[in-house]
Structures are given as C-alpha cells and as structure tokens.
C-alpha cells in the first residue's frame, strides 16, 4: 500500500503544434492530496487525462503504481437513461461484478453520501445539480479507488453544497489511504483539501511553484483556510500565474510568515528557462 | 420480456388515459355524420352504413385476404427501409464527410413525391408485389435514414470519455452508452416511417395491383360504391391507429422513460 504512488516525470504534451504542457514533474503518494491550481486553459485537464490514461503520453513518463484509479469530471456526466443506482454501479458493472452485489454496494455508499432511497430509482434529470454531483462522487468512490482524480467537480455548486461535499470527501479520505490528484482554479478549495499545491501557469502549461500545507485537512477551520488563501494570494508567482496585477507593497514571502503551516517549496529549476516564470520565482 | 411485462402493466392506466382521444374521435364521427346528412349518401355515406359495410366485409371473410396482402407489402417495404436506413444512417452519421454528402441526397429523396416513384416502379416491376414494396421502401427510407444519422451525429463525446475513464468494455459501451441514445432518435423515426408505409402502400396498390386494400378501393370507386370505399378507409386508418396507440406508443413511453417527464 505505502509503495503505491503516481509519478509524473518530464511530461510535455502538444495538440498539433499547440504546446499545452511543458516538462511537468510531480508525484502523488498514497494518502496525499495534491492540488493543481492555475488559470483556465493552462492544461490542467490535459494533465489529468494523461494521468488517467485517457490520452497517450508523448514525451516524458507517467508511472501509476496505484491499483485502482477513479475519475470525477467537471460535470457529473451521468448516463441520462440509467437510474441513479445503475449510474453509481457503472464502474462495477464494467469490472464484471454481478448485478446483486454491485447494486448492494452502490446503495450502501449512496446512502452514506446523503442520497435517500427514493433518489436511487430516479433518472438524472429528476435530480438537482448537487444530487447529481453526489451521484458522480459515489460512482467514483464505489470502486474503492486508491487514486482519485478530480477535475474541478465542485466548481458549479453553491458554497453550502461545496462544503458538504468536502466533508463527505474528507470523511472518505480519512477511512482509506487514498491518493488524490485534484485540479481546481479555486485557491480556497485547494487550501481546504490538499497537502500539496502545485501552481501552474499557461502557454505552455508548467508548474511554477509548490506549496506544502502541514496541518491535517480535518483540522482546518474556515478562519485557517481564509488566512492561508490570503497568504497564497500575496505570493507574486501565484498572482502572476492568474494574471493578477502585482501588489503595490511587496508582501512578505510565504516562507517568512513563521508558523510554517503553509510552506513554499523550491520551485523546480526546470521552469527557469521560461522568461515569465523567472520574474516571479526568484 | 421485461418490456412485455411493463407493457401489460401499463396498459390499463394508459387505456384509461385515452378517453380524451376517444372523445375527439367520436366528435370527428359526429361531424362526418353531419356532412353525410347534408350531402346525401352518394357523396358521403353516413358512418353507420360505412361501419355496417365493413362489418359485412369482415363477416364474409372478404376483408382479411385484402388486408393481409396490404399488410404484407407494407411490412416488407417498411422492414427493408428500417434495416437499410438504420444501418446506412448510422454509418453516415459516424463519418462527417458521409453525412455532409448524404444530406442533399436525402432532401432529394424526401422531396420526390411517392407518386413519381410509383410511376417508375410500375415501369420497372410491373404488376408484381415489387411495385408497392419498392414505393414503400423509397418513401420511408429517408425518414429512417435521417433519424439514424441524427442519432449517430449527436452522440455525446463527454459520456464516451467518462465511460472510457471507468474502463467500460466494448460491448457494454455499445449497449449502455451508444444504443440508448441512438434508439431515442431511431424509434420515433421508425414510427413515422411505419405511418408513411401504410399510406403509400394503399396508393401504390390502387394503381398497380389486383389485390389488397388499394385494389379493393379501386373496384369500389368504379362501382360508385361510396359505402364500401369508406369502409376500407376506416379499416386502414383503424388498423394504423390500433398499431400505433396500442403497441408502439406504450413501448416508446417505456423505452424513453428517462427523458424529460414532461407528459
């Protein structure tokens, strides 16, 4: 179990002549939540698709040591002609599990994720957006994955629903030693859930700096999340990657803050050749 | 099997919901009766004599062979159109080039009046079964083709990627991801094509064959027998209504239960 990890080494990717990813390096360990943050269009989804094996790796290497990976997309992407229960059990059916067994597992998990019995026989269009997201989460978790790939699955939900789904997700993470790779453009979401934040920038997509969060996710309260998010937003590299104007007064670097709960790791040297990255990361 | 059970279970409630339709049909019959009373039986026989003649035709056994011949031709032509149209439409839908190329051709096929095809078919097939079967095929093929093409063109790429991410095997991909979507386009097209087949076959028979409902209509017209003309029309329309509303509509509802429940 502890040996399982996802290693991404020197991955670059291009669609036709359009370079979307350049020299990406990182790894996800079992039990670790890694967040990829960056502006829209910086190649996050491409990177996740590469990790999921939905795209072929052209350059570099991705080694996935996890036995079972599950993917949760930006939209719920439920099959409209299947009931909630059958949608949740899709991955189990694909793996060849018998009908009774997969329905049993799907039902049990669905109820734990806050769906009620009546919902299970409904079709997706009869469910609210929040319920559909729950179903999508259940569809991924029912596989008992040891690697969970999340593509901004909560971005369309209101903050109350988001908070609820974070709770559910964290509870599941606590139960199992699951590695999570999530992409988001919501810094607060990254600060709330992840152990390691990789900040990406666009054209071509690359990692410009990394932050480590040492406090366990379960112990992070709202105040802590707001403070760390604010700290993160004062970082010049982060501002630049999201095309925010630089701060008038130079803010103290994250590392100078003192308590070390949000710690900036050295930016990988590979980003240096790109002129935009140089300004921010030194 | 499951479909059959659902059909039987849903039938009573469905029939009960049909009272509105029955009432509107009866209003139509009343209007018919009014017209008949005004113009007299030579122009328009009243419903009672039309239904009476139909009853006699059925009782004497004269109706069944004609109806069977008509149904046979309609179904052969319809089945051909269904198979060829579905297969070609799906293939064309998968390829962008093929669907662009086929669109004007389909417009030509749809725009050509069936009577024109009938004239050609009479030259090619003479008085055999081939003439009505061909006419039916040509008239209903483009409808099925367009349905299949639309179904294949609108396949959701996002759902396919999702299924791939969940490692859905090929067979399941076809049965659970592609098929339900395509069927939701194909099925309405099939029903429309069946209606067209049924109408076109009578027209084709009227001009080209010695038996079948169309031929019987031709005979009753030459005898100025309006009562039996109306009787045949009632038989043809009644059969179509029965097949569509007792068989196809409930199946359609069951198959498309997942769609917006806006009924």
Q: What is the ipTM of this complex?
A: 0.74
B130-146: average pLDDT: 91
Residues of B in Cβ contact (< 8 Å) with A94: 163, 166-169, 172
Please list the residues that pair with A34 across neighbouring strands. A181, A196
Q: What pLDDT score was predicted for residue A279?
A: 36
Q: Per the structure, how many domains does chain B have?
A: 1
Structure confidence at residue A119 (pLDDT):
83
Average pLDDT, chain A: 78
Q: Which residues contact B87 (CB under 8 A, 6 or more apart)?
A: B148
* Burial environment of residue B253 by CB neighbours within 10 A (0 to 12, 13 to 18, 19 or more): middle
A38, A185 contact by CB (below 8 A): yes
- Global confidence as pTM: 0.73
Q: How confident is the model at residue A277 (pLDDT cuts 50, 70, 90)?
A: very low
- B27, part of any domain: no
The stretch A31-51 carries a mean pLDDT of 83
Lowest model confidence (mean pLDDT) among A259-273, B6-20, B116-130: A259-273
pLDDT surpasses 60 at A16: yes
Give the mean pLDDT of B212-226: 86
Q: What is the pLDDT of residue A150?
A: 87
Q: Is any Cβ of chain B less than 8 angstroms from the Cβ of A125? A: yes
Mean pLDDT (whole number) for A34-54? 82
Taking the CA of residue B98 and the nearest CA in chain A, the distance in Å comes to 25
Query: How confident is the model over A133-148, as pLDDT tens digits?
Result: 888 888 888 888 888 8
Confidence bin at B31 (pLDDT 50/70/90):
very high
- Which pLDDT value is given to residue A269? 42
Can you give the pLDDT at residue A174? Answer: 78
| Domain span holding position B186 | 48-255
Contact B54, B231 (CB under 8 A): yes
Residue in A52, A81, A93 closest to B258 by CB: A81
For range A7-21, the mean pLDDT: 77
C-alpha pair distances (Å), B46 with each of A191, B36, B217, B226: 82, 5, 18, 10
Q: Is residue B40 part of a domain?
A: no
Q: Which CATH number is B83's domain given?
A: 1.10.3720.10
Which residue in A54, A79, A93 is closest to B165 by CB distance? A54
Residue A281: pLDDT above 70?
no
* Residue A214 confidence (pLDDT) above 90: no
User: Which residue of A80, A94, A139 is in closest CB contact with B172?
Assistant: A94
- For B106, residues 6+ apart whose C-beta sits below 8 A from its C-beta are B142, B145, B146, B149
The answer to whether residue B2 is domain-embedded is no
- Any CB–CB contact under 8 A between A95 and chain B? yes
CB contact under 8 A, B257 and A123: yes
User: A264 vs A172, A257, A275, B207, CA distance in Å?
Assistant: 28, 11, 21, 88
Mean pLDDT throughout B219-235? Answer: 87
The string of pLDDT tens digits covering residues A74-86 is: 888 888 888 888 8
Q: Parse chain A into domains and list their residue ranges.
A: 5-68+147-281, 83-144
pLDDT at A3: 60
pLDDT digits (tens, 9 = 90+) for B75-93: 999 999 999 999 888 888 8
CA–CA distance from B253 to each of A118, B139, B185, B243, B259 (Å)?
A: 21, 26, 13, 15, 9
Per the CATH hierarchy, to which homologous superfamily does domain A5-68+147-281 belong? P-loop containing nucleotide triphosphate hydrolases (3.40.50.300)
Beta partners for A8?
Answer: A26, A62
Residue A27 CB-density burial (10 A; 0-12 exposed, 13-18 middle, 19+ buried): middle
CB neighbourhood size of A40 (10 A): 10
pLDDT at B144: 92
Residue B261: pLDDT band with limits 50, 70, 90: low
Of A243-247, B88-92, B178-182, the range with the lowest mean pLDDT is: A243-247
- Expressed in angstroms, the distance from the first to the final Cα of chain B is 25
Q: What is the pLDDT of residue B30?
A: 92
Structure tokens at A191: 């600060």
Q: How confident is the model at residue A252 (pLDDT cuts 50, 70, 90)?
A: low
Asked if the structure places residue B184 within a domain, the reply is yes
B192-211 pLDDT, tens per residue?
Answer: 899 889 889 988 888 888 88
CB contact under 8 A, A73 and B168: no
- Contacts across the A-B interface (CB distance below 8 Å): 54
A143 with A149: CB under 8 angstroms?
Answer: no
Would you say residue A209 has pLDDT above 70? yes
């Amino acid at each position: 179990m502890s040996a399982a990890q996802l290693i991404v080494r020197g991955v670059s990717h291009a669609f036709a002549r359009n370079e979307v990813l350049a020299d990406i390096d990182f790894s996800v360990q079992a039990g670790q939540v890694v967040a990829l943050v960056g502006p829209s269009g910086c190649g996050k989804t491409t990177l996740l698709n590469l990790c999921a094996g939905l795209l072929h790796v052209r350059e570099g290497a991705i080694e996935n040591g996890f036995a079972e990976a599950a993917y949760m997309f930006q939209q719920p992407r439920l099959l409209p002609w299947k009931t909630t229960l059958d949608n949740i059990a899709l991955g189990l059916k694909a793996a060849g599990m018998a009908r009774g067994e997969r329905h049993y597992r799907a039902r049990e998990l669905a109820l734990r994720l806050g769906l009620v019995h009546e919902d299970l026989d409904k079709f997706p269009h009869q469910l609210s957006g929040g319920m559909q997201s729950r179903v999508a989460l259940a569809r991924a978790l029912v596989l008992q994955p040891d690697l969970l790939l999340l593509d901004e699955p909560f971005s369309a939900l209101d903050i109350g629903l988001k908070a609820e789904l974070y709770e559910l997700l964290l509870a599941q993470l606590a139960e199992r030693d699951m590695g999570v790779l999530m992409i988001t453009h919501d810094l607060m979401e990254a600060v709330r859930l992840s152990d390691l934040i990789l900040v990406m920038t666009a054209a071509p997509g690359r990692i410009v700096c990394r932050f480590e969060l040492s406090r366990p996710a379960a112990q992070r309260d709202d105040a802590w999340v707001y403070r760390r998010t604010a700290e993160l937003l004062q970082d010049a590299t982060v501002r630049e990657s999201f095309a925010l104007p630089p701060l008038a007064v130079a803010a103290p670097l994250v590392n100078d803050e003192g308590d070390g709960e949000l710690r900036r790791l050295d930016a990988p040297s590979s980003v240096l050749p790109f002129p935009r990255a140089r300004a921010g990361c030194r | 099997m499951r479909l059959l059970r659902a059909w039987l279970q849903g039938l009573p409630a469905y029939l009960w919901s049909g009272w509105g339709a029955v009432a509107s049909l009866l209003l139509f019959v009343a209007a018919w009766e009014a017209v008949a009373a005004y113009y007299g039986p030579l122009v328009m026989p009243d419903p009672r004599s039309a239904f009476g003649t139909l009853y006699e035709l059925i009782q004497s056994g004269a109706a069944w062979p004609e109806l069977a011949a008509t149904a046979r031709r309609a179904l052969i032509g319809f089945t051909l159109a269904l198979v060829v149209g579905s297969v070609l439409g799906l293939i064309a839908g998968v390829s962008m080039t093929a669907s662009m190329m086929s669109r004007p051709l389909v417009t030509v096929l749809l725009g050509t009046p069936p009577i024109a095809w009938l004239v050609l078919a009479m030259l090619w097939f003479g008085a055999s079964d081939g003439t009505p079967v061909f006419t039916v095929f040509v008239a209903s093929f483009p409808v099925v083709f367009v349905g299949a093409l639309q179904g294949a063109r609108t396949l959701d790429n996002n759902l396919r990627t999702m299924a791939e991410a969940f490692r859905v095997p090929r067979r399941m991909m076809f049965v659970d991801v592609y098929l339900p979507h395509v069927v939701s386009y194909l099925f309405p097209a099939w029903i429309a094509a069946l209606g067209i087949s049924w109408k076109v076959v009578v027209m084709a028979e009227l001009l080209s064959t010695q038996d079948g409902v169309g031929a019987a209509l031709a005979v009753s017209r030459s005898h100025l027998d309006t009562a039996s003309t109306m009787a045949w029309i009632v038989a043809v329309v009644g059969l179509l209504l029965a097949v569509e509303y007792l068989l196809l509509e409930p199946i359609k509802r069951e198959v498309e239960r997942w769609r917006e429940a806006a009924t």
